[in-house]
Chains A and B, each alone.
Chain A
């Protein structure tokens, strides 16, 4: 790999941090706005449900998301503040359907201690000011002027240093905040302040309330006329207001951090706790006087981070730890006593705590198995690029040469027959009443020869093309109606047909065009071309679905594809493909209303052209490589949308999204033929002919990444894959809460890597936590083991002083403990290393040998170690080199010296980075991720002149990812084709807390320079939402420094080039001095990295 890296998101963030409801896109439109850390999504509430309107990236991590309605406005504005102290106010531009920036700015201070409890951003209900609590002891005020414009911000000193929550009170003459804080003795109180805007100061507020619940953590201001505030504690809920009304109710101990208001008058609230329980809190009142509080259990949801009440009992529950949900609150409880009905789940991979890359098919295409979710919402997720075919049935059949499906009548919505062609016969299968496929006969068809094409035709006819003839058969009687015979001495080589037309080619370049007229085959035109014809197609793409006015023909010898007009077979366009490889399949198709000509070659390459359906003109020629074997193209439809299936050694689905062609792998090894087979029993299924097998399967939704969930109800922490035993093993734990005590039970679990069936479980000791797991083998031992590192977390200890390394073998699908070794601390990381085991144990790196004892058993024997880390958390090895990611001392490089049997430090990075993941890109370059959401690369300085320089890892790349990376691993989500340029680019996959899966690709320098120029050009054309600056967003930033991003490119920005309008693309291309076609080709290639 190299220092020139390209970072791109393969799976966008899915963990929901904020949500709000309001009239944002129009005075009468109700919107749900969801923030997923660095993106916002705006949905419209329609009678059919939530309809997504826009999903945009924000150049910042969203700290505050609030809707507000300035005076004299008919719809809401959106206030966003980011963790790096930028803010913006957005408005919806209904005409252009885009976000307008009303205001933006920076609210950072140079001195000030960032708050521990997160940033607070609140807006006065009467829209007089925005209040921000960003630093301890300071309350920042951005006042509105009377026109609703924001004025200059200022700070007010806030006496309370440990603030837990601040809210504006409703119905106050002067803007009034209520502050929940903790004093030096850890007692919690609330206090109110009026904001005196003129004096830029606080005035002691109307009331305060001392000595609240020790767990009080959330304030809910109650709208006028009730007014006042609800204080949510862990054991009590309290209501109080200025009239010294004080109402309290006890609750079952829980931590409530999310609430949603149900009624505008504020008499009912939904509360979500940390166990995923949804409660309803009711303020009972007589007129404007609150008389009491009531709390009711509603049911269980994902652990909520935000709750937005939409309408009619429908609630959006946003979650950071599990799938977000749309739930309906029913009036009646279900048999389990739950009033909650889940209407929809929105997949969330976050937090991805760990993952492993599993290449089941050994094709270089990984599927990623993540440890996702937290607490009760923990799960494993299998993330796969490409489209899955889920096999429903299969039969062994050798030598299939072609597959077609036929309906029993032209207007029947479902397919009835499956025509399977072999080298010297054709067999027919039909659906019977029991939803079985059984062999049948179609009397009018020739079953004694290979079929070249089959098709339902108008007038309830069936077409069969064989080498000798074209037959028309009646659907009802199954008898031959008409026949066209090939001329003597010629046989049909290739053929294609639609409902009313047949085009076939015989040897010698003869092309014959037939039409079905009055149930007869009529030869309309016959021409001879100068070369042999390799493939034909006349799939209708025009207005008439039964008749095509264009035909496509692929040629031998001159290697061209030609567009001919029908019925007169006149050449409209000839496109030379170049090279020596013959086109083997052509297809005319319309995807998302755009017509294409696709032409596949014998070597797995595919040309695509935009086709003008009326003139036959071909434009926008593109070439991609899909596989290495001949491709055959076929359209199919899934959920009412047409896609193209390319059968080859690497079957691919070609689909269109945003009017762009996208290519997605299919999880099958080699497909020779495919035809859609839409039956009543299994709608939208496909019949697939593989080597020696015919199978019927359904296809996943057509999208890039596919995610399968294996719910655990406990949290998985570390995972690894063992190819030899065909298993996955992971460390997980379950939270047990009894009435008095909380405890955790930790496990090592084993599952099948294909079926994900749970095979075995090993429970760890009391207080023992699983901290690391690997699969490895040792010198002089052929077996493969799982090694698990643990720590005993004793209540009285500050730092685990004891742990274990457990070595398991998988025997008959069970985990067998072979060896255990006690350690002097937590085993944070394990690596297979030179046939030995390398462990990171608290401050130390320790190497263990695998020793055979006299009795034939094995033991782990410590060989050597290395001190000098604060906590060695992450280790990676390569040859004799070890890279260590320290808790707070960045990256260091160690080397194992065989002769001396010692580990020594070679170099380290002297920056004080708190690491969250490390990986070695190659021998010289290492990449790290740290807790301020940055990634960086360092380089070994082995050629430096002085010891001092050699002892220093030079920081060569820096980048603000904006995501907390928990794991970096080599691998790829997509198939790496050895012959394509992209196939040579090494990649690393990362997984983050927000559920992002991303790719870091090391580019050749020339390409990096080119893309860097493209990035800086694009920054001028693509403005960040809220005018936030891309350069600032991507600059490396921590408590000590901010420096410009270097040696990393933002792939998300670069690839958004493809979403630009044609005009803008051309402007960018002009700026780059590169033809727009070439530019989009280069960017498109990049998209194939993920």
Chain B
């Protein structure tokens, strides 16, 4: 993308919401202004909202469909604006050009086609730093590594040097080979879920099996090589499925955490699950007592499940006893949501938690008490996720709502301030699953992370939301992955632990990406690459047990109905032949 490329924000999910269609950035800013002090509670509110909104699907359905046919927007906008004002007074149609963000005249901001134009009166939406620039001119926009101090150990060897030097010197620092970016859409499962996908996980041993959870608590199992081998289990949870973990000693068994306040262990073959924990034994008594579970991890050394709720408490659960151990411990500000938990892969006793209280914290789970954290890593806003690096556990990667990805290069280094802050657009989670930067589990250098981008790109007139591959050691954007057929935002992304495969969850669909095979022009031009899509929910749908209830049938039906409609709309065909990309 050249510097002339202009930004555009897609936020049409807001169209039906309270404050009108083009206010998304504004929205956020206002929210921030008003609730800066209590943004944690705002976010957890939002979670509750989600939970409460269970069933009222309409709002949510549009969630991911960020970019409905874009040309329409311009025409609609004045009408919509009018509609809004019309609610309060008699109908007048103003044809004055006002800024859609700040409502003042003299300049225009908002969408022009696929491009969003910043309001000059607001601080940069991306880096959120004052300084007179706007999102369009934000230095972080062009080069993500702006202002980033790269990690010092950079291996400048070429692979060839590595190969021949290691033959003489033995084990030398390993090179960082060219990273294979899964940048070509291989297949998709369109509207596999009825609600937006909230989490994804690859099966630890079955190579081609992907698990997905959605906002309604539906658990999907999909073999993306045998496209039609897919199942959904709908009664594991009753609302948002936030986290999934395999029992590493028995990979037929999956633990899931949900906003319904339960932890369930499900046998993947049968779909039979049992509840290990229910934090709301007394049922719904209003949002002030309803506990939801977001963060969960599994310490396989000890057979210990670690679970954190939306009030800042950590619960320990013995897998075999299926019972809680000890009392819940407050690990984040009381009443604030704990968004993620991660056990250090090398030393599972060491736990990283992140929360809505703007902190990520490191704990020793053997000596847990309130305020016993080794370190509290301060963040600017809500921390969406925090992960240790997947192999050595030596690095930390967090995603924060202040549009920053933070990296600590070494847990024995200086942890007071992050080694790197990478500005990246992901500050948006209302009706989207929060964005989380995820490590590439197979990257031995532990530098590559993947995260969906909120801000959109003008891609031949279509607004696309790329999935970004970021080199966390330099802050460089390695690749932005997008496909003109996917106009929705992809907040949920997972890289395969062994293959060069990316799975992304975007709205209700799941997509599988593979590296583009670099073809010799002569040889493979005529070999047409086919990408395949399957539609709709699982071919079988199993509820918790054997009985099928009627609501399932209903939803199946409605889904089918929608499917056809949407299929036309989104121009998807079952196979699209010959992806003759104009640009390489």
Contact = CB atoms under 8 A, between A and B. Distances in A.
A351 B412 contact: no
A374 B410 CA distance: 35
A256 interface: no
B554 interface: no
B282 interface: no
Contacts of A1039: 391-392, 444
A426 interface: no
A203 B417 CA distance: 23
A964 B412 contact: no
A269 interface: no
A353 B158 contact: no
Residue in B169, B171, B208, B350 with the greatest tally of chain A CB atoms within 10 Å: B171
Contacts of B159: 799, 871, 887
Contact of A353 (B168, B391, B414): B168
B160 A966 contact: no
Interface in B97-135: none
Contact of B160 (A137, A800, A843, A1040): A800
Nearest to A952: B207
Interface in B410-426: 410-414
A1040 B444 CA distance: 10
Contacts of A873: 163
Interface in B171-200: 171, 173-175, 177-178, 180
B167 A993 contact: yes
Contacts of B208: 948
Nearest to A798: B158
Residue in B161, B173, B412, B442 with the greatest tally of chain A CB atoms within 10 Å: B412
A182 B151 CA distance: 13
A71 B62 CA distance: 79
Contacts of B393: 111
Interface residues on B, range: 35 or more
B166 A111 contact: no
A111 B392 contact: yes
B394 interface: yes
A793 B170 CA distance: 21
A978 B32 CA distance: 85
Contact of B149 (A184, A798, A800, A828): A184
B498 interface: yes
Contact of B346 (A110, A888, A964): A110
A799 B156 CA distance: 11
Interface stretch (B140-148, B325-333, B467-475, B517-525): B517-525
Contact of A964 (B166, B206, B520): B166
B168 A136 contact: no
Interface string A501-524: 000000000000000000000000
Interface string A134-167: 0111100000000000000000010101100000
A49 interface: no
Contact of B169 (A137, A800, A870, A993): A993
A888 B500 CA distance: 13
B168 A111 contact: no
A136 B166 contact: no
A183 B152 CA distance: 8
Given A111-B347, A116-B153, A137-B412, A828 B163 contact: yes
Contact of B442 (A135, A717, A912): A912
A769 B346 contact: no
Nearest to B165: A374
A867 B516 CA distance: 10
Contacts of A205: none
A135 B414 CA distance: 15
Residue in A111, A798, A862, A993 with the greatest tally of chain B CB atoms within 10 Å: A111
Contacts of A379: none
B515 to A, nearest CB: 8
Contacts of A870: 177-178, 180
Interface string A929-968: 0011100000000000000100100000000000010100
A111 B167 contact: no
A353 B167 contact: yes
A869 B415 CA distance: 37
Interface in A956-991: 964, 966
Nearest to A37: B170
A380 B77 CA distance: 79
Contact of B392 (A113, A843, A867, A871): A113
Contacts of B175: 887
B80 to A, nearest CB: 49
Interface in A176-192: 182-184, 186
A914 interface: yes
Contacts of A868: 517
Nearest to B174: A914
Given A111-B350, A113-B392, A184-B152, A351 B168 contact: yes
A912 B393 CA distance: 17
A888 B444 contact: yes
A793 B159 CA distance: 11
B167 A112 contact: no
Interface string A907-935: 00010101010000000000000011100
A717 B166 CA distance: 12
A933 B412 contact: no
B537 interface: no
A184 B409 CA distance: 12
B259 interface: no
A826 interface: yes
A791 interface: yes
B490 interface: no
A1040 B347 contact: no
Contacts of B177: 870-871, 887-888
A862 B391 CA distance: 40
B392 A931 contact: no
Contact of A865 (B164, B167, B347, B523): B523
A964 B171 contact: yes
B310 interface: no
A162 B153 contact: yes
A138 B153 contact: no
A799 B158 contact: yes
A902 to B, nearest CB: 11
Interface string B310-350: 00000000000000000000000000000000001011001
A862 B177 CA distance: 26
B498 A111 contact: no
A865 B168 contact: no
Given A162-B153, A887-B177, A933-B171, A113 B410 contact: yes
A135 B412 contact: yes
Contacts of B410: 113, 136-137, 161
Contacts of A168: none
Contacts of B161: 793
A351 B166 CA distance: 10
Nearest to B394: A113
A871 B392 CA distance: 24
Given A948-B206, A993-B170, A912 B444 contact: yes
A321 interface: yes
Interface in B451-508: 498
5 contacts: A110-B346, A184-B149, A793-B158, A933-B171, A964-B170
Given A110-B347, A113-B394, A798-B178, 5 more contacts: A138-B412, A888-B177, A931-B170, A931-B174, A993-B170
Interface of B: 149, 152-153, 158-164, 166-171, 173-175, 177-178, 180, 206-208, 344, 346-347, 350, 391-394, 410-414, 442, 444, 498, 517-518, 520, 523
Interface of A: 110-113, 116, 135-138, 157, 159, 161-162, 182-184, 186, 321, 351, 353, 374, 715, 717, 769, 771, 791, 793, 797-800, 824, 826, 828, 843, 862, 864-865, 867-868, 870-871, 873, 887-888, 910, 912, 914, 916, 931-933, 948, 951, 964, 966, 993, 1039-1040
Nearest 9 A/B pairs, CB to CB: A137-B412, A964-B170, A110-B347, A910-B498, A374-B168, A111-B346, A111-B347, A353-B167, A351-B168
